[in-house]
Structure 1
């Protein structure tokens, strides 16, 4: 197993230069009364020694759209790149369920989506499970949320907006503002948005990413009497559902007319030809947001004591796979960015071991020096930056579930991606199955674009048998019942 790649640690000046605000970026919001309007309570005693934690989630953000990670000549992410240079850049992070709600339920609890009670859209998180927020709050932190939630039950168009006080906040009981399903109650330049008291403050004539980032700026600028956890959840670059478009800010509307096309898309049908320019603009807006937040942390004297995590819940296939943007076992869907920097993580290294989003909660708790609940499925990633031996001993296998397109289960290793499904379950409308069959087998090492499905080919039967056995054991280890997996003996 290859060791991580270490680089010379950038200086503080270099890092701040990379995180500086550029022209046309988000204006700094006013502090003072505006910040107090966020309504965060301060009841626990101060604890200056523990780091703050900032989680920045960009919805549907492809892993190969970070300049520091991949050879993409068009993408511009200098602020995310600066985080990657300073901290730990996990280049092989897998979403355990590439769909908004199940993915969020999984990483918030470090349990698989079926265990967390949200295996498809529209379901409510199992509130008996500890979450990132409940654990930090139990240890003297304030737990705060801003943006898109999407981990609460919906009935038709009910409960798409503000989440009332109580368990539906998932433990983010100090500040909770935004909307449950933000893409259905807003558009890129106007929409509904609920504050901490349930008042619809809305926004208009301001780009959605900028508006949400400025709300986070106000939170960071206020006086904090105890360490804080902030989960900032941006909708972009997720497509705007009702128009099926990736809508960039006006400042980037015409910037990506003829951009670089990732190699996995070029030979496949889909809507990437018309949609990818807007996607690039949304990605750059997200990077602007990261730069704004880092600059605010620096200006307020909190940067050196804040763990910053940038990640996504799932990727984007541009409908090249199974007609889906996500909901598929393919790399552009399950492969996500995961970049972490700050106290304990400033290792200036690239990590190529396979990890998954289920490792997020234990990593952040470990980084803050807190005790990990025994119920967690994931493992802390912090040690992977500390020694070659830790990387050598790491189990580079990620288990994932697929729903609402197929009822599927899969594993992703350093070299292989393998998934099974139940063809009798239509549209994936079942939580699990007692009987699966082979669906896809790809050689990640030799065919990273997954252009050739190797399932059923006799020359790969031995590796398929090994992966099938491993997957069966992972299904049980994830708390599911034993299943049968039938091999496919013929291929197209």
Structure 2
């Protein structure tokens, strides 16, 4: 088949998947051979950080390239404004057929009416798939709001639907957004239902150091979670096999990413909505035209950078109001002016803000605001400071220690700057009470050392 002028684009989107579920990031259980192969032969984003560790807000960022406070979707249950342009609008304007399959979480109701589907042409989805379906009971809605029950385990059911769509549109340019629920928990009975026989494979298996130290619901849930991750990866392999069989594999871009991670009730009383890497760091890789052989990107890349990246790779002009930036210059070796930190907004559990560099994590919270009813604050207090070089699993909070006051001061300035760039009011950030020494009486970290390390991120 003659190569198309424009690449097809598929977003393979998982829900609540930790970065360290992948072999690429050191997981020893062999859960993700297909992701690992894609990361090795395509482009791997080593430090991929969500800008909002909760479902709806993260999805609004990925659909629009705008921060959740910009669209107004700062928490769940706020529909995406109908006037807001999504990836579907941009791709459709360039002649692409557009399709959405799976979990949406930006419509506010089920079934999602047409005017709340973000402009997608083909629709086979549910706003809250965790409530309309179960592991072996996949119910979604079609373009006419009719319920459709798909056969098979939920991951397979949605993958089958995606493969059918690709087969039907193989002679046209298409943009397909395939959004899974897995490995998110099943809300109505708070567990992680893996395919039959999969949970048993991982009982007693490897546990990430933060979960091993802090416990939470890890021992109860992680084997099922791993089983879900395994089936997701198998689905990625099936999708890529389908593309290869249709001779579309070399003319289709695939983005694999997730909305946020999972801390298994170790940082608060649920699974996300915290500044920790267990909540905000996710697996991300791209494959296809423009990304094959791209290697590993070490710069901090935000979820909000992915929409302009996809448009850029497809030759579609990036909207001027998008708040992220394309990573294609990074792939091509142009790293000038790339931000040294990722900016994170946190809602629902609290009104919080954070930044992460390669070495440091700094977070503040608004004590007089409600995370459900307030999208921002003009007053925050310091809450967390982590040295990710010495403490990669964030077990020692350094905020307030005399040894790290200079670091906190510098990070505070950078956070305020990023908040202003995101369109927020520059806040007052109250310093944490000073503690006389660092943990175990460690030496003082100087601002000169901080600046030296920043140059390396």
What TM-score, normalized to structure 2?
0.92
1:41 aligns with none
Cα distance between partner residues in 1 of 2:356 and 2:423: 19
Residue 414 of structure 1 and its aligned partner are, at CA, apart by 1.1
Q: Could you say if the C-alpha distance between residues 366 and 417 of structure 1 is closer, same or farther in structure 2, counting changes exceeding 3 Å?
A: same
Note if contact 1:59-1:237 (Cα within 8 Å) is conserved in structure 2: yes
1:65 aligns with 21
Counterparts in 2 of 1:350-389, with a 5 A limit? 350-387=296-333
Counterparts in 2 of 1:123-162, with a 5 A limit? 123-153=78-108, 159=109, 161-162=110-111
Deviation digits for residues 148-167 of structure 1 (CA, Å, limit 9, x no counterpart): 000122xxxxx2x221222x
Note if contact 2:159-2:239 (Cα within 8 Å) is conserved in structure 1: yes
2:370 is equivalent to residue 421 of structure 1 = no
Moved over 3 A (4+): 426-429
Counterparts in 2 of 1:54-93, with a 5 A limit? 54-68=10-24, 70-93=25-48
Deviation digits for residues 357-380 of structure 1 (CA, Å, limit 9, x no counterpart): 000111000101111110111110
Note if contact 2:138-2:153 (Cα within 8 Å) is conserved in structure 1: no
2:425 is equivalent to residue 469 of structure 1 = no
Residue 75 of structure 1 and its aligned partner are, at CA, apart by 3.8
2:443 aligns with none
Cα distance between partner residues in 2 of 1:289 and 1:122: 29
Deviation digits for residues 105-164 of structure 1 (CA, Å, limit 9, x no counterpart): 0111111101111101100112323211111111111111000000122xxxxx2x2212
Residue 391 of structure 1 and its aligned partner are, at CA, apart by 3.1
Note if contact 2:217-2:266 (Cα within 8 Å) is conserved in structure 1: yes
Note if contact 1:407-1:429 (Cα within 8 Å) is conserved in structure 2: no
Deviation digits for residues 19-77 of structure 1 (CA, Å, limit 9, x no counterpart): xxxxxxxxxxxxxxxxxxxxxxxxxxx99200000000010010111112x22211421
1:52 aligns with 8
Residue 425 of structure 1 and its aligned partner are, at CA, apart by 2.1
Residue 199 of structure 1 and its aligned partner are, at CA, apart by 1.6
Pick one of 203, 207, 216 that aligns with 2:153. Answer: 207
Deviation digits for residues 220-258 of structure 1 (CA, Å, limit 9, x no counterpart): 111444311000000000000011111100141311111
Pick one of 373, 381, 401 that aligns with 1:437. Answer: 381
2:287 aligns with 341
Unaligned residue ranges in structure 1 (runs of 5+): 1-45, 154-158
Note if contact 1:47-1:226 (Cα within 8 Å) is conserved in structure 2: no
1:447 aligns with 391
Cα distance between partner residues in 2 of 1:430 and 1:143: 34
SS in 2 for 1:192: strand
1:104 aligns with 59
Deviation digits for residues 353-402 of structure 1 (CA, Å, limit 9, x no counterpart): 10100001110001011111101111101121112xx2364222111100
Cα distance between partner residues in 1 of 2:316 and 2:162: 24
Pick one of 190, 194, 209 that aligns with 1:248. Answer: 194
Q: Could you say if the C-alpha distance between residues 490 and 429 of structure 1 is closer, same or farther in structure 2, counting changes exceeding 3 Å?
A: farther
Note if contact 1:119-1:403 (Cα within 8 Å) is conserved in structure 2: yes
Residue 196 of structure 1 and its aligned partner are, at CA, apart by 2.5
Pick one of 259, 273, 278 that aligns with 2:224. Answer: 278
Cα distance between partner residues in 2 of 1:362 and 1:111: 10
Q: Could you say if the C-alpha distance between residues 353 and 100 of structure 1 is closer, same or farther in structure 2, counting changes exceeding 3 Å?
A: same
1:311 aligns with 257
Unaligned residue ranges in structure 2 (runs of 5+): 440-457
Deviation digits for residues 327-346 of structure 1 (CA, Å, limit 9, x no counterpart): 00001100011100100100
SS in 2 for 1:311: strand
What TM-score, normalized to structure 1?
0.86
1:170 aligns with 118
Pick one of 132, 135, 147 that aligns with 1:188. Answer: 135
Cα distance between partner residues in 2 of 1:481 and 1:393: 24
Q: How many residues align?
A: 435
Deviation digits for residues 263-305 of structure 1 (CA, Å, limit 9, x no counterpart): 1111103000110000010000100110010000000111110
Q: Could you say if the C-alpha distance between residues 426 and 129 of structure 1 is closer, same or farther in structure 2, counting changes exceeding 3 Å?
A: closer
